[in-house]
Chain A
Amino acid sequence: MAESPSPPAAPFPAPFPAPFPAPFTGYRQQVRPEWLDYNGHLTDAGYAIVLSEAHELLLERLGLSAEYRTSRSASMFTVATHIRYLAECAEGQTLTAETMLVDADRKRLRLHSELFADGVLAATGECLYVHVDTSLGRSAPLPEDRQEAVDAVQKAHAGLPRPAHLGLGVGVRP
């Protein structure tokens, strides 16, 4: 009996630009009416949507987004999210993001974004992702080609200033 063929590799999203933008600034989205709270401002969970959309764009550039999930039975799972709310956002404002790859190992990625509303810093958000083999239901190392892409972005982002709040927890400080 023939061995079952290995699943076809998801095509790598080409071209992978060199040098990679540092920070990554692909995201652009208007504040949508369905994201507003009773005050007419972007609601807490809305910031989380925006952050996750901005990060998804970078994951897409790394070949780790929707197409990868279906072709490789693997996906990036969010383990933790830390948002600092700095300013209110109103309907129609344009949201943009500056995203950096803060850290990575064989299985994990840590992304940080500054979110801007009409150019004014409105929030910072940081997410920790783990690469999961969804057929086994557990974490697994990134395949070689994706690891190379991650390494390239990490190299491109190595010179970016690290935000002072990285590595601080939440709490009431005197």
Chain B
Amino acid sequence: MTDRVTTPYEGREPAAWDSSAEIEAPLRLHNTPVPTEWLDYNGHMSESCYLLAFGDSADAFFRFLGIDEGYRAAGHSLYTSQTHLHHWKEAAGGDRLHLTLQVLDHDRRRLHIFHEMRHDDTGDLLASAEQLLVHVDMAAGRSTDLPDHLYERIAAIQRAHRVLPRPDVVGRPMGIRR
């Protein structure tokens, strides 16, 4: 067992951004099987591990944008401000999962994204996660504008994702509806 949480992409250099390349809609940057250490006593993937998988997909997305260890060492990072998870179906050990990521909205310092996790063989939607991320100056401990190059990349991704439907759970508050 590792002594901390790691992602499969740690230490990986981001590929150079190619502004002429077509941007996938949604982005599909992360696949994973369900490892046995994610299972609960029922043999199902336990709740918090969904967020680990979405976190790994987010890390792949950060590297796609150009945010890696070097960027963070220079003092800035994207922090998660909110996460809203929906659990739709169970996943079992060994199931192969693929994750997608859609940019819904952004401004100079905030990024609103939507993840989906699907079963590879059946295509069934297992879980979704809506997240609000904030660009942070880590030394000052507060939010700050994205540098132009990242802002432009995020804007390009959002433009490419305009063709996608807005998922109906987005922005939906939690509650018991009667």
Contacts and interface: CB of A to CB of B under 8 A. Distances in A.
Contact of B105 (A80, A81, A172): A172
Contacts of B132: 170-172
A172 B107 CA distance: 8
Contacts of A44: 51, 55, 80, 83
Contact of B112 (A43, A52, A166, A170): A170
Given A85-B80, A170-B131, A172-B107, A35 B5 contact: yes
Interface stretch (A7-15, A18-26, A92-100, A104-112): A104-112
A103 interface: yes
A80 B84 contact: yes
Interface residues of B, number: 40
A83 B170 CA distance: 15
Interface string A22-48: 000000000001111111100111101
A103 B81 CA distance: 25
A172 B110 contact: yes
A77 B85 CA distance: 13
A33 B81 contact: no
A167 interface: yes
Interface string B163-178: 0000000111111101
Interface residues of A, number: 38
A71 interface: no
Interface centre among B51, B72, B82, B130 (most CB of A within 10 A): B82
A122 to B, nearest CB: 13
A93 B131 CA distance: 26
Nearest to B3: A33
Interface centre among B1, B5, B80 (most CB of A within 10 A): B5
B176 A81 contact: no
Contact of B55 (A39, A45, A126): A45
Contacts of B107: 172
A67 to B, nearest CB: 12
Contact of A48 (B51, B79, B174): B51
Given A78-B87, A80-B84, A171-B105, 4 more contacts: A34-B4, A105-B176, A166-B173, A170-B84
21 contacts: A34-B5, A35-B5, A38-B69, A38-B72, A43-B5, A43-B55, A44-B55, A45-B55, A48-B48, A48-B85, A49-B48, A81-B83, A82-B84, A82-B85, A83-B82, A85-B81, A110-B176, A169-B173, A170-B82, A171-B170, A172-B132
Interface of B: 1-6, 10, 47-49, 51-52, 55, 69, 72, 79-87, 105-107, 110, 112, 130-132, 170-176, 178
Interface of A: 33-40, 43-46, 48-49, 52, 77-85, 103-105, 108, 110, 126, 128, 166-172
